[in-house]
Amino acid sequence: MAIQNGVIKIKGKLGDLVAYERNGKYVMRQNVSDKKQSENSKKSSRDFGSASKTAAQLRKAFAPLVEFYGNDGLVNRLNKQLVAIFNTIPPEHTGKKRLADGNIALLKGFEFNKSRPFEEVFRSLPTLQIEPGGLVKLIIPKKKTSELIKPHPKAVRACLQVRGFHFDLGESEEYEIIKIKDLIIHLDQGQFPKTVLPIKLDHDGDKALVIVMGIRFNIGGSGYSGDKKYFVCKITHALHLKDGIVIDFVAQPGKKAVIADEEEGLSWVVED
Protein backbone atom coordinates (compact mmCIF):
# COMPACT_ATOMS: atom_id res chain seq x y z
CA MET A 1 0.00 0.00 0.00
CA ALA A 2 1.39 3.39 -1.01
CA ILE A 3 0.38 6.86 0.23
CA GLN A 4 -0.46 9.44 -2.44
CA ASN A 5 1.57 12.60 -1.82
CA GLY A 6 0.73 14.54 -4.99
CA VAL A 7 -1.47 17.61 -5.18
CA ILE A 8 -4.09 15.70 -7.19
CA LYS A 9 -5.67 12.87 -5.19
CA ILE A 10 -7.23 9.91 -6.98
CA LYS A 11 -10.06 7.60 -5.91
CA GLY A 12 -11.36 4.66 -7.90
CA LYS A 13 -10.25 1.47 -9.66
CA LEU A 14 -8.34 1.17 -12.89
CA GLY A 15 -6.88 -2.16 -13.94
CA ASP A 16 -5.39 -3.87 -10.88
CA LEU A 17 -4.78 -0.62 -8.99
CA VAL A 18 -7.24 0.62 -6.41
CA ALA A 19 -7.00 4.17 -5.03
CA TYR A 20 -9.05 5.15 -1.98
CA GLU A 21 -9.16 7.26 1.19
CA ARG A 22 -8.24 5.64 4.52
CA ASN A 23 -8.04 7.42 7.85
CA GLY A 24 -7.80 10.80 6.13
CA LYS A 25 -4.99 9.70 3.81
CA TYR A 26 -5.19 8.83 0.12
CA VAL A 27 -3.59 5.49 -0.60
CA MET A 28 -3.15 3.11 -3.51
CA ARG A 29 -2.85 -0.64 -3.47
CA GLN A 30 -2.32 -3.40 -5.97
CA ASN A 31 -4.63 -6.39 -6.03
CA VAL A 32 -1.93 -8.98 -6.80
CA SER A 33 1.84 -9.04 -6.55
CA ASP A 34 3.33 -11.42 -9.14
CA LYS A 35 5.65 -10.08 -11.83
CA LYS A 36 3.07 -10.12 -14.60
CA GLN A 37 0.58 -8.20 -12.49
CA SER A 38 3.32 -5.80 -11.47
CA GLU A 39 3.74 -4.88 -15.14
CA ASN A 40 -0.02 -4.45 -15.42
CA SER A 41 0.09 -2.19 -12.37
CA LYS A 42 2.61 0.07 -14.06
CA LYS A 43 0.36 0.27 -17.11
CA SER A 44 -2.71 0.94 -14.98
CA SER A 45 -0.81 3.62 -13.10
CA ARG A 46 -0.01 5.37 -16.37
CA ASP A 47 -3.71 5.30 -17.24
CA PHE A 48 -4.57 6.71 -13.81
CA GLY A 49 -2.13 9.51 -14.50
CA SER A 50 -3.71 10.25 -17.87
CA ALA A 51 -7.19 10.33 -16.35
CA SER A 52 -6.16 12.66 -13.52
CA LYS A 53 -4.26 14.90 -15.96
CA THR A 54 -7.41 15.31 -18.06
CA ALA A 55 -9.44 16.08 -14.93
CA ALA A 56 -6.88 18.74 -13.96
CA GLN A 57 -7.11 20.29 -17.44
CA LEU A 58 -10.90 20.50 -17.12
CA ARG A 59 -10.66 22.13 -13.70
CA LYS A 60 -8.20 24.67 -15.09
CA ALA A 61 -10.43 25.43 -18.09
CA PHE A 62 -13.46 25.98 -15.86
CA ALA A 63 -11.56 27.48 -12.91
CA PRO A 64 -13.91 30.46 -12.24
CA LEU A 65 -16.93 28.15 -12.20
CA VAL A 66 -15.16 25.55 -10.09
CA GLU A 67 -14.25 28.22 -7.55
CA PHE A 68 -17.76 29.60 -7.21
CA TYR A 69 -20.01 26.58 -7.74
CA GLY A 70 -17.82 23.61 -6.77
CA ASN A 71 -18.25 21.86 -3.46
CA ASP A 72 -15.53 20.14 -1.45
CA GLY A 73 -15.90 16.82 -3.23
CA LEU A 74 -15.62 18.13 -6.79
CA VAL A 75 -11.98 17.15 -7.37
CA ASN A 76 -12.46 13.52 -6.37
CA ARG A 77 -15.81 13.23 -8.16
CA LEU A 78 -14.35 14.58 -11.41
CA ASN A 79 -11.33 12.28 -11.15
CA LYS A 80 -13.71 9.37 -10.61
CA GLN A 81 -15.73 10.38 -13.67
CA LEU A 82 -12.60 10.46 -15.83
CA VAL A 83 -11.54 7.05 -14.51
CA ALA A 84 -15.00 5.75 -15.50
CA ILE A 85 -14.43 7.08 -19.03
CA PHE A 86 -11.00 5.43 -19.24
CA ASN A 87 -12.58 2.18 -18.04
CA THR A 88 -14.78 2.15 -21.17
CA ILE A 89 -11.60 1.69 -23.23
CA PRO A 90 -10.83 -1.98 -24.09
CA PRO A 91 -8.32 -3.61 -21.70
CA GLU A 92 -5.85 -4.37 -24.50
CA HIS A 93 -5.07 -0.63 -24.52
CA THR A 94 -4.05 -0.67 -20.83
CA GLY A 95 -1.00 1.52 -20.31
CA LYS A 96 -1.66 3.60 -23.41
CA LYS A 97 -5.28 4.59 -22.99
CA ARG A 98 -6.33 7.89 -24.56
CA LEU A 99 -9.40 9.97 -23.86
CA ALA A 100 -10.25 9.81 -27.58
CA ASP A 101 -10.92 6.07 -27.25
CA GLY A 102 -13.32 6.40 -24.29
CA ASN A 103 -16.93 7.45 -23.87
CA ILE A 104 -16.47 11.22 -23.51
CA ALA A 105 -20.25 11.68 -23.27
CA LEU A 106 -20.06 10.35 -19.69
CA LEU A 107 -18.91 13.83 -18.67
CA LYS A 108 -22.34 15.21 -19.56
CA GLY A 109 -24.48 15.79 -16.50
CA PHE A 110 -21.57 16.18 -14.06
CA GLU A 111 -22.78 18.54 -11.32
CA PHE A 112 -20.33 21.04 -9.82
CA ASN A 113 -22.61 21.55 -6.82
CA LYS A 114 -24.27 18.33 -5.68
CA SER A 115 -26.66 20.16 -3.35
CA ARG A 116 -29.19 20.59 -6.13
CA PRO A 117 -29.55 19.38 -9.75
CA PHE A 118 -29.05 22.11 -12.35
CA GLU A 119 -32.40 21.43 -14.09
CA GLU A 120 -34.36 22.14 -10.93
CA VAL A 121 -33.30 25.78 -11.25
CA PHE A 122 -32.69 26.24 -14.98
CA ARG A 123 -35.51 24.14 -16.37
CA SER A 124 -34.79 24.13 -20.09
CA LEU A 125 -31.32 23.09 -21.21
CA PRO A 126 -30.09 24.80 -24.37
CA THR A 127 -29.60 22.76 -27.51
CA LEU A 128 -26.22 22.57 -29.23
CA GLN A 129 -26.29 22.87 -33.00
CA ILE A 130 -23.18 22.13 -35.08
CA GLU A 131 -23.10 23.71 -38.52
CA PRO A 132 -20.68 23.43 -41.47
CA GLY A 133 -17.59 25.60 -41.36
CA GLY A 134 -16.93 25.17 -37.64
CA LEU A 135 -19.87 27.20 -36.37
CA VAL A 136 -21.48 25.96 -33.16
CA LYS A 137 -24.69 27.47 -31.81
CA LEU A 138 -25.93 27.20 -28.24
CA ILE A 139 -29.67 27.92 -28.34
CA ILE A 140 -31.96 28.76 -25.43
CA PRO A 141 -35.59 28.51 -26.59
CA LYS A 142 -38.28 31.16 -26.25
CA LYS A 143 -40.17 30.57 -23.02
CA LYS A 144 -42.00 32.26 -20.21
CA THR A 145 -39.33 33.36 -17.76
CA SER A 146 -41.22 31.64 -14.95
CA GLU A 147 -41.08 28.35 -16.90
CA LEU A 148 -37.41 28.73 -17.75
CA ILE A 149 -36.07 29.58 -14.28
CA LYS A 150 -37.02 28.78 -10.69
CA PRO A 151 -35.43 31.77 -8.95
CA HIS A 152 -34.34 32.57 -5.42
CA PRO A 153 -37.42 34.05 -3.65
CA LYS A 154 -35.66 37.41 -3.15
CA ALA A 155 -33.86 37.55 -6.49
CA VAL A 156 -34.27 40.38 -8.97
CA ARG A 157 -31.91 39.07 -11.66
CA ALA A 158 -30.38 35.77 -12.72
CA CYS A 159 -26.84 35.51 -14.03
CA LEU A 160 -26.26 32.67 -16.52
CA GLN A 161 -22.59 31.79 -16.91
CA VAL A 162 -21.28 29.63 -19.74
CA ARG A 163 -17.75 28.46 -20.52
CA GLY A 164 -16.39 26.01 -23.06
CA PHE A 165 -13.33 23.82 -23.46
CA HIS A 166 -12.36 22.69 -26.97
CA PHE A 167 -9.30 20.49 -27.17
CA ASP A 168 -7.34 18.28 -29.52
CA LEU A 169 -7.54 14.58 -28.73
CA GLY A 170 -4.41 13.84 -30.74
CA GLU A 171 -0.74 14.14 -29.91
CA SER A 172 -0.62 17.95 -29.92
CA GLU A 173 -2.98 18.30 -26.91
CA GLU A 174 -3.72 21.88 -28.03
CA TYR A 175 -6.79 23.43 -26.48
CA GLU A 176 -8.96 26.51 -26.49
CA ILE A 177 -10.84 27.90 -23.50
CA ILE A 178 -14.03 29.55 -24.69
CA LYS A 179 -14.84 32.56 -22.53
CA ILE A 180 -18.39 33.87 -22.76
CA LYS A 181 -19.92 37.02 -21.29
CA ASP A 182 -22.51 36.51 -18.54
CA LEU A 183 -26.12 36.60 -19.67
CA ILE A 184 -28.23 38.70 -17.28
CA ILE A 185 -31.89 37.69 -17.13
CA HIS A 186 -34.33 40.11 -15.50
CA LEU A 187 -36.83 38.01 -13.62
CA ASP A 188 -39.67 40.51 -13.99
CA GLN A 189 -39.76 40.09 -17.76
CA GLY A 190 -42.69 37.91 -18.67
CA GLN A 191 -41.21 36.32 -21.78
CA PHE A 192 -37.64 35.18 -22.36
CA PRO A 193 -36.79 35.51 -26.08
CA LYS A 194 -35.02 32.83 -28.08
CA THR A 195 -31.32 33.51 -27.47
CA VAL A 196 -28.44 32.15 -29.54
CA LEU A 197 -24.74 32.02 -28.70
CA PRO A 198 -22.64 31.52 -31.88
CA ILE A 199 -19.18 29.99 -31.35
CA LYS A 200 -16.64 29.69 -34.16
CA LEU A 201 -14.30 26.72 -33.77
CA ASP A 202 -11.72 24.81 -35.78
CA HIS A 203 -13.11 21.30 -36.07
CA ASP A 204 -10.33 19.78 -38.18
CA GLY A 205 -9.18 16.47 -36.73
CA ASP A 206 -10.13 14.67 -33.52
CA LYS A 207 -11.57 17.13 -30.98
CA ALA A 208 -13.60 17.20 -27.79
CA LEU A 209 -16.03 19.95 -26.88
CA VAL A 210 -17.22 20.41 -23.30
CA ILE A 211 -19.73 23.08 -22.29
CA VAL A 212 -20.45 24.08 -18.68
CA MET A 213 -23.38 26.24 -17.54
CA GLY A 214 -23.94 27.83 -14.15
CA ILE A 215 -26.65 30.09 -12.80
CA ARG A 216 -26.71 32.32 -9.72
CA PHE A 217 -29.05 35.00 -8.44
CA ASN A 218 -28.63 38.65 -7.59
CA ILE A 219 -30.77 39.65 -4.61
CA GLY A 220 -30.34 43.38 -4.91
CA GLY A 221 -28.02 45.31 -2.61
CA SER A 222 -26.84 42.11 -0.93
CA GLY A 223 -25.14 40.87 -4.12
CA TYR A 224 -25.33 37.22 -5.11
CA SER A 225 -27.09 34.66 -2.97
CA GLY A 226 -24.85 32.19 -1.15
CA ASP A 227 -27.67 29.66 -0.75
CA LYS A 228 -26.44 26.42 -2.32
CA LYS A 229 -29.97 25.64 -3.43
CA TYR A 230 -29.81 28.60 -5.76
CA PHE A 231 -26.40 28.44 -7.39
CA VAL A 232 -26.09 25.42 -9.61
CA CYS A 233 -23.69 24.36 -12.35
CA LYS A 234 -23.15 21.33 -14.55
CA ILE A 235 -21.53 20.02 -17.71
CA THR A 236 -24.41 20.33 -20.17
CA HIS A 237 -22.63 19.04 -23.27
CA ALA A 238 -19.67 16.73 -23.85
CA LEU A 239 -18.98 15.73 -27.43
CA HIS A 240 -16.35 13.84 -29.41
CA LEU A 241 -16.01 15.46 -32.84
CA LYS A 242 -14.18 14.21 -35.91
CA ASP A 243 -13.84 16.94 -38.56
CA GLY A 244 -16.99 18.57 -37.18
CA ILE A 245 -19.06 15.37 -37.05
CA VAL A 246 -20.26 14.02 -33.69
CA ILE A 247 -18.76 10.60 -33.00
CA ASP A 248 -20.97 8.36 -30.89
CA PHE A 249 -19.14 5.97 -28.62
CA VAL A 250 -19.53 2.32 -29.52
CA ALA A 251 -18.67 -0.09 -26.74
CA GLN A 252 -16.56 -3.05 -27.73
CA PRO A 253 -18.71 -6.19 -27.70
CA GLY A 254 -17.77 -8.84 -25.19
CA LYS A 255 -15.87 -11.83 -26.44
CA LYS A 256 -18.11 -14.64 -27.59
CA ALA A 257 -17.65 -18.02 -26.08
CA VAL A 258 -16.13 -20.57 -28.46
CA ILE A 259 -18.55 -23.44 -28.95
CA ALA A 260 -16.93 -26.75 -29.74
CA ASP A 261 -18.18 -28.72 -32.72
CA GLU A 262 -21.00 -31.03 -31.74
CA GLU A 263 -19.87 -34.63 -31.35
CA GLU A 264 -21.32 -37.01 -33.91
CA GLY A 265 -23.45 -39.93 -32.78
CA LEU A 266 -26.79 -40.84 -31.31
CA SER A 267 -28.32 -38.73 -28.57
CA TRP A 268 -30.03 -39.71 -25.34
CA VAL A 269 -33.74 -39.00 -25.03
CA VAL A 270 -35.25 -38.19 -21.66
CA GLU A 271 -38.59 -39.93 -21.03
CA ASP A 272 -41.05 -39.45 -18.20
Q: Write a three-state SS string for 210-238.
A: EEEEEEEEECHHHCECCCHHHCEEEEEEE
Distance CA 38, CA 26 (A): 21
Predicted local confidence at residue 1, as pLDDT: 52
* pTM for this predicted structure: 0.78
Name the E strands within 57-156.
Answer: 127-130, 135-140, 143-144
Q: What is the length of the chain?
A: 272
Predicted local confidence at residue 84, as pLDDT: 94
Predicted local confidence at residue 184, as pLDDT: 94
Q: What is the block-wise mean pLDDT of the chain (272 residues), using blocks of 10 residues?
A: 58 68 70 60 86 93 94 90 94 90 96 93 94 92 94 92 95 90 94 95 93 93 81 96 91 55 55 51
